[in-house]
Amino acid sequence: MEILEISNLYKDYGKKLTLKNINLSFNLGEIVGLYGPNGSGKTTFLKIVVGLLKPSKGKVLVDGKEVGVYSKSIISYLPDRNIFPLWMKIKDTYKFYRDFFDFDDKKFKNLLDFFSLKEDLSLKALSKGDMEKLLLSLSLSRKAKIYLLDEPLSGIDPSTRDKIITSILKNYYEESLMIIATHLINEIETIADRTIFLYQGEIALDENTEKIREQKKISINELFKSMF
């Protein structure tokens, strides 16, 4: 059975139709790169799966069940911006995550060390990149069935991006599904075994990454630039 199944999904914000007739299914063990121009609907799609937005029409089944308490308990979501009040320190943020039964304290501490982040640092004092590293450390420290990462590399300098990709791969559980929405296709196409392009709210491409490269003889980044 698929871990995530989306059928006939539509989302409108008032008059504006943002997602149109999305039909997708995902299995455990997949790392998926989700790419699309600005405003194509990537964040909206992830927010619907995690339950932060309701679809206008259609069905989302997570491990066979509708979005709700159970689905939230097996999805680890990295939002595209900070969700914590800035008066907090790093050590305060992880108290929230400890409510998740699958949160691994030791893993979190190792990730903080890996990114050279100290627990006593105040969120106010974090650079954009350091904030991203903290949010990623929190998300990856859960042993979830599904990881939804929205722009995990935004604000990160090129050499640190490699470090982040290494940490994503190192901390990825083979029996989970990971969907990564990003504009940094070059970086993510090296680890994503499936490629999805969203364009104006519709699926423009959904294919095995290696197959695309073999058939088209170009990188996913080049293909994206040639299509949009």
Ligand X SMILES: Nc1ncnc2c1ncn2[C@@H]1O[C@H](COP(=O)(O)OP(=O)(O)OP(=O)(O)O)[C@@H](O)[C@H]1O
Residues that bind ligand X in the complex, under the rule CB under 6 A: 13, 16, 18, 36, 38-44
CB atoms closer than 10 angstroms to residue 9: 21
Structure tokens at 152: 């995990």
Q: How far apart are the first and last CA of the chain?
A: 34
Residue number with CB closer to ligand X (190 or 200): 200
Closest CB 47 distance from ligand X, rounded Å: 8
Q: Are strands 65-66 and 177-181 parallel, antiparallel or unpaired?
A: unpaired
Closest CB 150 distance from ligand X, rounded Å: 7
Closest CB 1 distance from ligand X, rounded Å: 28
Residue number with CB closer to ligand X (35 or 147): 35
Residue number with CB closer to ligand X (9 or 90): 9
What string of H, E and C letters represents the secondary structure of 44-75?
A: HHHHHHHCCCCCCEEEEEECCEECCHHHHHHE
What crossing angle do the helices spanning 105-114 and 90-97 adopt, rounded to 10°? 150
Closest CB 23 distance from ligand X, rounded Å: 18
What is 158-214 written as a DSSP string?
HHHHHHHHHHHHHH--TTSEEEEE-S-HHHHTTT-SEEEEEETTEEEEEEEHHHHHH
Closest CB 117 distance from ligand X, rounded Å: 25
Residue number with CB closer to ligand X (38 or 116): 38
Residue number with CB closer to ligand X (154 or 208): 154
